[in-house]
A = this chain, B = another copy of it.
């Protein structure tokens, strides 16, 4: 029996839910032309079905009861777009037990409960699509899983949180401080009232967790991701970075080196002539280096109703095609814990930018560089500006490659010097050794 219809139900009629519904309704004929399949939007569940989303939804589709989606025997694919962990997780597990394929844009959920969800899906022989969970409309999941399948992934550098990139861009272009840039981001709707997830690197770490699993066939290991947000970056650091030839970006960094995997999220100084340093505002970009393909980069909108909806619908088509034209999905291979090793943050090698708050007294640089030297941290360049005899001035040092563990200890020691008046700020630096 040939079928050519796929029915989908959406749970969560917010921004992404609206975008997905718009695309399914407006581009229905386009999808049919391209695939031969009718994709029918059968149900949309949300507690609020009264608010106008600017789309005309045909009668009989809206419901306030999620179980109408979860239990409808006609529905092939359940699309979870409500966000949060509960009840989103329960809904997804319920859908899987009901032998429905699942699509979600919920990065927090996949990063923290993805192992359980995917293993349940395997047991029930259904697919879970999460293209929309990383970098909105950029098809980075498909690129990693299929387009670059021939490659060992050597490194990934991602700007995958639009809010923090907007804030850093505004600080860079308008020389304003963090708090002012954050307020503007909130005013424009780019940052939420509680911006913690975005500015503390949590959202970026969720997405990095997902990228790492795809790149290295490892489980989702959110707790192993080192993370550091952008709240301590000042306008002064951004100016020093510019003077040194860098932009400061919140990067998700994934590296494979010496059979260990590095997973870290932190503000990073990126050389001005790297394409990714030019990715500004709310845009996302992911640099991927493969052993065969070399350097590649993928750029686009990381959020928003239509870009994220574009990713959700790509998953709908992929899963729909699979339902209709084949029985089995791709093998999902996953390494056992003994087969890989996550590098501890203290073992990471990096170059560093230090901004010391040093009293303007003779011998300060010599004291500080002495301590750095004793921890095998060698200095690449120094900027010291302005004079305030007896007062504190910023002393900026750029290092060659050093070990994080040594840096932590050196900074601790330096911060106890009587000539150092405030905690030292440091930012990790990417790029070739000069």
- Using CB atoms and an 8 Å cutoff, list the residues of chain A in contact with chain B: 19, 23, 27, 30-31, 33-36, 131, 137-139, 142-143, 146-152, 217, 275, 278-279, 290-301, 304, 306-307, 309-311, 313-314, 317-318, 321-322, 325-331, 333
Contact = CB atoms under 8 A, between A and B. Distances in A.
Contacts of A295: 299-301
A102 to B, nearest CB: 18
Contacts of A31: 149-150
Nearest to A301: B294
Q: How many identical chains are in the complex?
A: 2
10 contacts: A27-B291, A30-B150, A33-B333, A131-B147, A137-B292, A139-B148, A149-B317, A150-B314, A294-B304, A326-B328
A401 B298 CA distance: 31
Contact of A146 (B36, B139, B328): B139
Contacts of A326: 322, 325-328
B139 A310 contact: no
B301 A298 contact: no
A19 B294 CA distance: 13
A132 to B, nearest CB: 11
A333 B279 CA distance: 36
Contacts of A306: 291-294
B150 A292 contact: no
A326 B324 CA distance: 10
Given A147-B139, A310-B148, A292 B33 contact: no
A290 B301 CA distance: 11
B146 A217 contact: no
Residue among A142, A147, A306 facing the most chain B CB atoms (10 A cut-off): A147
A331 B36 contact: yes
Contacts of A327: 325-326
A233 to B, nearest CB: 24
Nearest to A287: B299
A152 B297 contact: no
A169 to B, nearest CB: 13
A136 to B, nearest CB: 8
Contact of A142 (B147, B297, B325): B147
Contact of A299 (B131, B275, B328): B275
Contact of A294 (B293, B307, B322): B307
A329 B325 CA distance: 7
Given A278-B278, A325-B329, 7 more contacts: A34-B217, A151-B310, A290-B310, A294-B304, A294-B307, A325-B327, A325-B330
